[in-house]
Amino acid sequence: MIQIKKNQISFIWIIFLVTYQMVTSLYPFLSPLIGFIFCYLIFFIDDENKTNEEDEVGKYLAFLYLVFINLNKGFYLFSGIISFMIFYYLFFEWISTSIKCKNCVIFIYVASGYVSIFGINNLIAYTLNEDFFTFGYEYGVFILFDFFLSVIYYKDRLQ
């Protein structure tokens, strides 16, 4: 039986996600997976904190993907990382302990990924006296798509 190493799986995910982002440039109706990556990072860092095992490669690749989304979608550089850090260190613990509906928690994580990135970008645009980003109906569709994808991918976390 062929044994696949963890780094090979990470490399396959990198190729898939970079290719997917290129496809989203051609077809803008596809979700940029911001909310899915937010859920991934939240669960990943939470698992690291619980087990005291650090996997720097997976974490930094997810942050790199957020930077790639920022560059590809016209957001300010590092706004995804800033919004994730603010969300994780200010709201994660409160949301995970106070809300018992696991699907609702995942929806909040996904929605906060999109809303917080838009909030940070509009705050930066305000300070630079530039045009604001608009939050259209398509982002509601992106949130729903990422939510369903996250529920399918993290179904074992919903127990």
The answer to the question of residue 84 being in a domain is yes
The answer to the question of residue 53 being in a domain is yes
For every one of its 159 residues, what pLDDT tens digit does the chain have, with 9 covering 90 and above? 444 455 556 677 778 888 888 898 888 888 888 999 999 999 888 888 888 877 777 788 888 889 988 888 888 889 999 999 999 999 999 998 898 888 899 999 999 999 999 999 999 999 999 888 888 888 899 999 999 999 998 888 766
Tell me, what's the pLDDT at 18? Answer: 84
DSSP conformational letter for 33: -
The answer to the question of residue 81 being in a domain is yes
The answer to the question of residue 76 being in a domain is yes
Please name the residue that has the structure tokens 């398509």: 138
CA–CA separation, 147 vs 152, rounded Å? 9
Three-state SS for 39-106 is HHHHHHHHHHHHHCCCCHHHHHHHHHHHHHHHHHHCCCCCHHHHHHHHHHHHHHHHHHHHCCCHHHHH
The answer to the question of residue 69 being in a domain is yes
The answer to the question of residue 19 being in a domain is no
The answer to the question of residue 60 being in a domain is yes
Expressed as residue numbers, the domain containing 110 is 33-158
The answer to the question of residue 136 being in a domain is yes
What is the domain count for the chain? Answer: 1
Tell me, what's the pLDDT at 159? Answer: 60
Tell me, what's the pLDDT at 115? Answer: 93
